[in-house]
Amino acid sequence: MAGQKFCRVSDFGEFVRRPMEYSGVMLPAPDICRRARLARDLRFDGHFVVGVLTTGVFCRPICPAGPPAEENVRYFATSAAAMEAGYRPCLRCRPEHESPLPAWTIGSETVVRAVRMIDNGYLAGRPVRALAAELGVGQRHLNRLFRAELGTSPKGLARMRRIALAKRLVDETHLAMADVALAAGYGSVRRFNDEFSRVFRHPPRAARRKHRTAGSTRITLRMPTREPFNANWVFSFLGRRAFPGVENVHGYTYRRRVGADRISVSRRDGALWLEMPGALADGTADVLARVRRVFDLDADPDAIDSHLLQSPGCAPWVRVAPGIRVPGAWDAFEGTVRAILGQQVSIDRATDLATRLIERFGTGGFPAPEALASADVGAIGIPGARAAAVRLLARAVLERGDAFLLDPPAARETLLRIDGIGPWTAEYVAMRVARDPDAFPASDWAVRKVLGANARDTLRRAAPWRPWRAYAVMHLWRGYSGKRQRPVALVPGTTSKVAAPAGH
């Protein structure tokens, strides 16, 4: 990127290899933080924020404002921690819009799981004790873990997510303030006004941009991406697996039916742009979370690529296609059913089966668990054991909700207890639905073909790729050149050649 600045060459590599503790939370070493902010190093954006004692604001390390003296700054792992310490967001660099802290910088798996659940809206209407119970720990212990890792509490993190969304809706949409309050998850307009005024030192109406035209109900939000972002891979991957009538991909635009409405996500100007009708305003937080999962926007490509480039078995693929993402599933139940249908069949066959399922049991969209719990799923042309597995999954979701499918350990454990579901499916779901960056379907035909190994040897050879084996799988699928791969094709609207992915 033209004009991009970096701190000392070894700084980011040192941070990737060994995140260091500072003031009890996971942060780069103080000297690295100092050099990163002075250089405005883009690679560290999202890894920490800078609190400025003299102004009372906190900034991203790439803030264009003049850098304050080192004795006047304090470093925080998250925006939530800075806000909880009494700092307010900078109006120039907008730190409340930063990408979430990458999971690899968090040392506690419990905290990683909790953050994922918070990002998926778990604390909207639920107390922290419910989150702790879901994770199998006490509430006080969970709070201690959050303080040690992130410098804030689960409640503080959820609050930051809520106020950040509200600020975006105030700044970037025409929604009425009552609608903003509802969309951001506030119980009342008064509560929204009070918190907004306390954080930003002015009421929300004063923050609204004057050039906005009143009355428009269309919502357009810019979603920054950490670079490099391999858009060719993501859009071609999603396009080949799109369900007719539910979703489609054309060039660098993904469209999805959501209820009776449609949303679109397009790649332009170095970011993703989400467009949705005002009728979906109440579900803005949910739509944003789903888009982040589908496009893997929380990935840290610099850290991932730097690690995989150290392995001779993966480095050639990374050099050819940096910035690969692991495209996620829009809906947990939908993505898991798709994985079951895709067992031991091609991508095209799995898509055809999913389309039949939609046509037979759906009502304008993918069938709900209620529609499949007792349905004759085998009628779409799948073996009885596979049809029974779909029914059992639907019943599990009806009994427990779908939150367990978004948690890698719980997803694996539950799926492997269902007859007709094997390790490949459990790992595939952990990779694309539960978003485990280290998920690895060792028995995948294409992976074994590329590596020329059986499942056991594949696991051994993939060991150096940890904790990002899921990204290595994407590279292997992209690089697969066996007979089952489609010819190299052009992404519509571009001149870039894209190898058709081999996985399901």
Residues designated as active site: 59, 444
Between CA 24 and CA 33 the distance in angstroms is: 15
Residues with Cβ within 8 Å of 382's Cβ and at least 6 positions away in sequence, in order, are 341, 353
Would you give the DSSP letter of residue 487? P
Q: Is 259 left (phi over 0), alpha (psi -120 to 50) or beta?
A: left
Between CA 430 and CA 140 the distance in angstroms is: 29
Backbone angles phi, psi at 364, to 5 degrees: 95, -5
* Contact (Cβ atoms closer than 8 angstroms) between residue 58 and residue 90: yes
Strand 247-250, strand 219-224: pairing: unpaired
Amino acid code (one letter) for 104:
W
* Nearest Cα to Cα of residue 113 among 84, 146, 64: 146
Token pair 């250089």 in the structure block, residue: 39
Q: Say whether the peptide bond before residue 316 is cis (omega within 30 degrees of 0).
A: no
Give all strands (DSSP E) within 234-336, no chain letters: 247-250, 253-258, 261-268, 271-276
* Nearest Cα to Cα of residue 97 among 206, 227, 226, 223: 223
Between CA 171 and CA 362 the distance in angstroms is: 38
Neighbours of 128 (CB within 10 A): 20
Query: Got the DSSP string for 401-464?
Result: -SGGGGSHHHHHHHHHTSTT--HHHHHHHHHHTS--TT---TT-HHHHHHHT--HHHHHHHHGG
* Contact (Cβ atoms closer than 8 angstroms) between residue 303 and residue 227: no
Between CA 91 and CA 74 the distance in angstroms is: 18
Give Cα 423 distance to the centre of its chain: 23
**3-state helix, strand and coil shares in percent for the chain, rounded to the nearest 5:** 50, 10, 40
Would you give the DSSP letter of residue 492? T
Between CA 237 and CA 232 the distance in angstroms is: 8
* Contact (Cβ atoms closer than 8 angstroms) between residue 90 and residue 59: yes
